[in-house]
Amino acid sequence: MPFSQNAALNALLQPNNGLDNLAQLTQFLQSADQDLTGARGVVREALSFVGSRASANLPGLSDRVNVSREPSGIVHIQAQNEDDLFYTLGFMHANDRLWQMDFQRRITQGRLSEVVGETTLQQDITNRTLGLYQAAASAYTNLDAATRHIVDTYTNGINAYLNLNLSLPLEFQVLNYRPEPWQPIDVLGAVKLQSLVQSGNFQSELLRSRLLSQGIPLARIQEIFPPYTGDVTILRPEDVAKIPGLPSSSSSALPQTDLSALTEPVNDAAVERLASSQLLSPETFASNNWVVSGSRTTTGKPFLANDPHITLQIPSVWYAAHLEAPTYETIGATFPGLPGVVIGRNNSIAWGVTTTQADVQDLYALVEDPTQPGQYLYRDQLRPYSVRYETIKVRGAADVVLPVRESVYGPVISDALGISQPLALQFVSLSETDNTLTAFQGINRARNWDEFTTALQNYVAPIQNFVYADVDGNIGHYTPGKIPIRQDGHSGLLPVPGTGQFDWQGFIPFNQLPHVLNPDSGFIVTANNRVAPSNYPYTISQEWAEPYRAERIQQLILSKDKLSLDDMQAIQLDQTTLLYSDFKPILQQLQPILNSLNPIPTETVNWLNQLLNWDGNLHPDSQVGTVFEAWFNELTKFVARSIGLEVLEGNAQEPAPRFLLKALTQGDPVLGGSAAQALTNAALALQRVVDGFNGNVPQWGDVHQAVFKHPVLPIRRQVPYGGDRYTVNVGPYNSTNFLMDRNGPSYRQLIDLSDPERSRYIYPIGQSGRFFSPYFDNLLEPWRQGQYLAMKTENFSVATRLSLRPGTSQSRSFVLPEDQIEDWVLAIAGPTVRGVLGSVLATDR
């Protein structure tokens, strides 16, 4: 690595320097980024006009593989057999997203601190304690032979790219390290990481424990964070009645005994540790999918829509690809690090997913005998902890040796969080067997509902709401996975004694999980809302998203007799907030209160009048929308302060509308006591909001912007955006600054089952994670504007072609089109890039 060729940059990249010179690096990269903005577009247009071809011989291939890249950057892989197909997918994932894959691998392994330093030590401690990588190793060992072969083949493709010894992405240069060879376990680790990210119940248990420790009674906590028990559900009662073999009784929703004394108070230090481990996520429930039968469409065949609302980041979570072999063809969103399509379609079926928010985690308070250290009480007997020792290497600091205690339930997570009361975590994704990858392989191949549901029987986690449609006109829904059955009195909302009395009673049988095929309504909508109505006997979760998005989708579906694909797109891009509809009656009651003030706040009254005439459309240029959201956000601060917080964030904010509406109509101490005082405080809150704008209310998109950040480099993108956390085109924001800086519509797809080639998809940022690539950020603006790409498997435009053949690798002479582009961009972008980073990236080939 020729770091020594540039003394200034070499100073930035010293092993002990970490990112101490972040200001210098930021200034340089931002300058380079500005220089590159035009150059990326010029190169992209040139490639689309003249095309580019490259070829390579790779060991491990058995036949020729063609890789075509559209002008958008989307990749099509056409192979003669499945082995070469998955091998090449691994190769292309590594080509475009190598550092992202390595970073995710290090998160799972708990090895970020090796390359980043002490900043990520708490995150490593938490992930080592969880044992995600050990669980991945067990899962790999227990895979069926066919799936293990796919994992091995995909891994070989990644390593084939690494063995070319091409120039590494910028992040490796900045952090001064090289990636290690890929292991099959790393693939299973990516599954485990996604399950952890989308399964957050144990954080909710800790939040409630913390509130109990502040002296807030459990009943009051349930008032502030009321579980949703309404009738806006995915399945209807008549759908549940068709599920065979359901028992007649269910577990009780709330604990029968006061469990608040079981654990030592969860203090602020523990919460801070959890936050720094990035497990106390401020992200929100979010994702939409829905499917409409042919009886409700203009084509007579189903339409299927999906937009998962997960992390907005650089690079994107997703990687779009078309995978084709004689026995396998599918297209959609892949996940860098995993073989196959996660969301998409094949030639017979289409599918989409949303997070169910099923409760698949529990904390158990372990009882210890102080005279018998190293043991805990379980089923009236003392049992010894099993202990493993983890050595965490820390860049620029001494190694940290971490003892990790394990119980019958799982790791003692409290040790990582500084909580002296032992709390063990039971989590379905820490089990030794996990066939989720097998399930996705089956989904990719499925040709009908029976094959689709057979594949889902292998699914473990993260628990998702799958919607389904096929070319024969069927639509369906299934919520697969390992969802635990709890004892009566165990709601999953709080830690319970880990003495055996609250052990899980197995899992909901697959054929009794929520599902429906061809419902009478002619459509199915899921938006993280409650899955099943009260006649479903099992408890899936106590925590659901508010049903505003689901209700709005249903409204728009029912607004027309027949929907076109353009209508489906309009639904997906809709930014009308039903939150406003619920709070408009409250706003109407504020007029006499404001008019009674002395002096009358004329400007506030004027804005209130505009609010009352508003349609609730939170488009980016709405000023009225800014006032409404700022006012509602101000109301949520009353709730936050009542529980010792400055603001409500993420899922803690989800039930706030129901609590506030009740407080404003019936009164509550949070808003001053009586209903009259609550309304007065709401009026004064509106006045504070308007006064705070000093006569210059900005457009919503000026303050509410989608933010995409890189986890290490000082690179970000920020664009005006509409909506809020309750709109279909979702726009959840940070309550402290209104920025949409965590999650949002990370991918959109619209599938037409009458002609799958007419389907559409898009995702933000770009296909490549390489900073200098013309495909680095070219999809951001189309995504922001609500545009889509054609989801084609044939007759697509081609900008670059790569031909891969069996043979000996050509590490010295082979250059991929994307590496050529990188060189071209460096040549075009100006003296800043050429002078400072040119030599670093020009690794010997």
538 phi and psi angles, rounded to 5 deg: -95, 150
Could you tell me which of 46, 284, 13 has the C-alpha nearest to residue 168? Answer: 13
* HEC readout, 323-334: EEECCEEEEEEE
Dihedral sign for Cα atoms in the order 166, 170, 173, 177: negative
Give the C-alpha separation, 759 to 737, whole Å.
37
- Which of residues 52 and 787 earns the better pLDDT score? 787
pLDDT score for 276? 54
Whether 468 contacts 474, CB under 8 Å: yes
Cβ atoms 440, 340 nearer than 8 A: yes
Q: What is the pLDDT of residue 840?
A: 35
Say what the pLDDT of residue 834 is. Answer: 35
Tokens linked to 812: 């010295």
What confidence score (pLDDT) does residue 772 get?
Answer: 81
Q: What's the pLDDT at 167?
A: 79
The structure tokens listed for 490 are 């165990």
Residue position matching structure tokens 């790791």? 411
Alpha helices by DSSP H, listed for 300-383, are: none
pLDDT, one tens digit per residue, over 346-393 is: 999 999 999 999 999 999 999 999 999 999 999 999 999 999 999 999
Note the pLDDT of residue 32.
64
Tell me, letter by letter, the H, E, C secondary structure of 208-228.
Answer: HHHHHHCCCCHHHHHHHCCCC
Say how far residue 451 (Cα) sits from the centre of its chain: 27
Whether the predicted pLDDT of 650 surpasses 80: no
Q: How many CB atoms lie within 10 A of CB 552?
A: 25
More confident residue, 35 or 16: 35
Which pLDDT band holds residue 229 (cuts at 50, 70, 90)? confident
- Average pLDDT over every residue of 606-615: 98
Give the pLDDT of residue 833: 40
Pairing type for strands 361-365 and 496-497 reads parallel
Residue for token digits 């485990």? 192
Nearest to 150 by CA among 184, 193, 194: 184
User: Residue 47 — very low, low, confident or very high, per pLDDT cuts 50/70/90?
Assistant: low
Q: Say what the pLDDT of residue 258 is.
A: 42
CB within 8 Å of 779: residues ≥ 6 apart: 72, 73, 316, 762, 763, 764, 765, 766, 767, 789
Helix axes 82-109, 121-130, angle to 10 degrees: 120
User: What is the reported pLDDT for 280?
Assistant: 43
What confidence tier does 585 reach under pLDDT thresholds 50, 70, 90?
Answer: very high
| Segment 665-724, tens digit of pLDDT | 999 999 999 999 999 999 999 999 999 999 999 999 999 999 999 998 888 999 999 999
Higher pLDDT, 761 or 249: 761
* Furthest-apart CA atoms within the chain: distance in Å: 86
Mean pLDDT for the stretch of residues 484-502: 93
CB 624 within 8 A of CB 616: no
Is the pLDDT assigned to residue 50 strictly greater than 60?
Answer: no
Closest CA to 211 of 263, 176, 163, 171: 263
Please name the residue that has the structure tokens 């009195």: 489
Mean pLDDT of the chain: 88
How do residues 299-310 score in pLDDT, each as one tens digit? 999 999 999 999
CA atoms of 589 and 609, how far apart (whole Å): 12
pTM of the model as a whole: 0.92
- Which pLDDT belongs to residue 45? 65
DSSP 257-300: S--TTSS----HHHHHHHHHTT-S------EEEEEE-GGGBSSS
Mean per-residue pLDDT for 458-471?
A: 98
If one counts every other C-beta atom within 10 angstroms of the C-beta of residue 615, the result is: 10
| pLDDT, position 551 | 98
DSSP secondary-structure letter at 120? G
Is pLDDT above 50 for 263? no
- What are residue 394's phi and psi, to 5 degrees? -125, 120
pLDDT number for residue 269: 62
In the prediction, which pLDDT does 348 show? 98
Q: Count of CB atoms within 10 A of residue 709's CB?
A: 17
Work out the end-to-end distance of the chain between its first and last CA atoms, rounded to an integer number of angstroms: 11
Q: What type of residue is 243? A: I
Higher pLDDT, 254 or 444: 444
Both tokens of 774, joined, read 């013309």
Residue 142 confidence (pLDDT): 97
Q: Which of 582, 650, 622 is nearest to 274 (CA)?
A: 650
What pLDDT score was predicted for residue 773?
86
Angle between the N-to-C axes of helices 82-109 and 132-141, in degrees from 0 to 180, rounded to the nearest 10: 150
Instruction: Give SS3 for 137.
Output: helix
**Tens digit of each residue's pLDDT (9 = 90 or more) over 298-344:** 999 999 999 999 999 999 999 999 999 999 999 999 999 999 999 99
Q: With helix as H, strand as E and coil as C, how does 30-88 read?
A: HHHHHHHHHHHHHHHHHHHHHCEEEEEEECCCCCCEEEEECCCCCEEEECCCHHHHHHH
Q: How far is CA 398 from CA 356, 682, 688, in A?
A: 42, 54, 51
What's residue 5's pLDDT? 32
Per-residue pLDDT reduced to its tens digit, 553-564: 999 999 999 999
More confident residue, 528 or 34: 528
Q: Is the pLDDT of residue 77 over 90?
A: yes
Helices marked H in 333-448: 414-417, 436-445
Q: pLDDT tens across 798-833, in order?
A: 998 999 999 876 544 455 555 555 555 444 443 444
Q: How confident is the model at residue 644 (pLDDT cuts 50, 70, 90)?
A: confident
Q: How does residue 7 score in pLDDT terms, banded at 50, 70 and 90?
A: very low
Contact 234, 465 (CB under 8 A): yes
Q: What is the C-alpha to C-alpha distance for residues 295 and 301, in angstroms, rounded to an integer?
A: 7
Q: What is the pLDDT of residue 20?
A: 41
Q: Cis before residue 244, ω within 30 degrees of 0?
A: no
User: Per-residue pLDDT for 164 more than 50?
Assistant: yes
DSSP letter at 472?
T
pLDDT of 274 over the 90 cut: no
Q: What angle do CA 461, 463, 468 make, to 5 degrees?
A: 115
Average pLDDT, integer, range 72-83 = 97
Which has more confidence, 166 or 518?
518
Rg (CA), the chain: 27
Backbone angles phi, psi at 13, to 5 degrees: -105, 15
What's the rounded Cα separation, in Å, for the pair 711 and 104?
11
Model pLDDT for residues 136-162, shown as the tens digit of each residue: 999 999 999 999 999 999 999 999 999
Q: Do residues 265 and 210 lie in contact, with contact meaning Cβ atoms separated by under 8 Å?
A: yes
The dihedral built from the CA positions of residue 793, 797, 800 and 805, taken in this order, carries a sign that is positive
Query: Residue 595: helix, strand or coil by DSSP?
Result: helix
Confidence of residue 837 (pLDDT cuts 50, 70, 90): very low
pLDDT at 726 over 50: yes
CA-CA-CA-CA torsion sign (208, 209, 214, 215): positive
CA distance 171 to 190: 20
Rounded to 5 degrees, φ, ψ at 319 are: -140, 110
Query: Hey, is 345 helix, strand or coil?
Result: strand
Looking at residue 22, its pLDDT comes to 45
Lookup result for tokens 């009236």? 380
